A and B are shown apart, each in its own frame.
Chain A
Amino acid sequence: MHAKAMIEIVVGILVITGTVLSLISSLGIIRLPDVYNRAHASTKSATLGILCILLGAFFYFIYTHGVSSIRLLLGIVFVFLTGPVAGHIIIRSAHRSKVVLADISVQDDLQNYLDSQKNVESK
């Protein structure tokens, strides 16, 4: 098969995969019941979607221009590292600001842990 057609197939598959993952992440953000659940959609699915799209762009530019743009690899590493960290900081701030859990939640592990720490300290 022609090399250009092969590269276009690979890039097309990667970009469509990343796009579908981003769409699923957006649907999760509006459908999940609680801010703590919505963080799953934002940190896991959106990050992976962006990684696939940037990887597709990297392969495209290596083939057509012969340019191995290191900026795309830096972008991939940066988004991979900072996506879940940002989600963690948002959720920790939400828990400290006493945002309520959803009605169907069964247990709050962090609150149990903090209460047990407080009981240990006050004894």
Chain B
Amino acid sequence: MFDKIMLLAMFLLSISVVIALYRVIRGPSIHDRILALDSIGYIVIGIVAVHSIMLDSHAYLETILLIGILAFLSTIALSKYMEGGVVDARKSDD
């Protein structure tokens, strides 16, 4: 019963990724695509957590933190680049 519930959760999360992928392909502006990719990153974190419950192993829990950090940093870099072309607005020495 518990295994079936985890399998159902994994199936529904995969459907969520496919649905959000439609917005990545279709989105009229780039910001739609950035938003949908950020959401896909969060759903993939959920998939990794459910998978590690199913496998009964706590070896994959570091990838949750890694995926979260990488998704956040790339979202911020992409957004600031789309805004003005400059990601890091510090004065350079030369």
Interfacial residues, chain A to chain B (CB-CB below 8 A): 8, 11-12, 15-16, 18-20, 22-23, 25-27, 29-30, 35, 38-39, 41-42, 46-47, 49-50, 53-54, 56-57, 60-61, 64-65, 67, 69, 71-72, 74-75, 78-79, 82-83, 85-87, 89-94, 96-97, 99
Q: Which of B1-44 contact A (CB under 8 A)?
A: 1-2, 5-6, 8-9, 12-13, 15-17, 19-20, 22-23, 27, 29, 31-32, 34-36, 38-39, 42-43
Chain A interface helix/strand/loop/mixed: helix
A69 to chain B, nearest CB (A): 5
Q: Is the CB of A15 within 8 A of B53?
A: yes
Chain B residues within CB distance 8 Å of chain A: 1-2, 5-6, 8-9, 12-13, 15-17, 19-20, 22-23, 27, 29, 31-32, 34-36, 38-39, 42-43, 45-46, 49-50, 52-53, 56, 58, 61-62, 64-65, 68-69, 71-72, 75-76, 79-80, 82-84
Question: Shortest distance in angstroms between A9's beta carbon and chain B's nearest beta carbon?
Answer: 9
On whether the beta carbons of B64 and A54 are closer than 8 Å, the reply is yes
Residues of A contacting B5 in the complex (Cβ-Cβ under 8 angstroms): 12, 15-16
Task: State whether A30 touches B20 (Cβ < 8 A).
Answer: yes
Interface of B is mostly: helix
Q: In the complex, A75 Cα to B52 Cα: how many Å? A: 15
Q: In whole angstroms, what is the CA distance A30 to B23 when docked?
A: 6
Known: A19-B9, A19-B46, A97-B82. A30 touches B19 (CB 8 A): yes
B43 near A22 with CB under 8 A, answer yes
What is the distance, in angstroms, from A87's C-beta to the closest C-beta of chain B?
7
B14, chain A: closest CB distance, angstroms: 10
- B20 contacts across to A, CB distance below 8 A: 26, 29-30
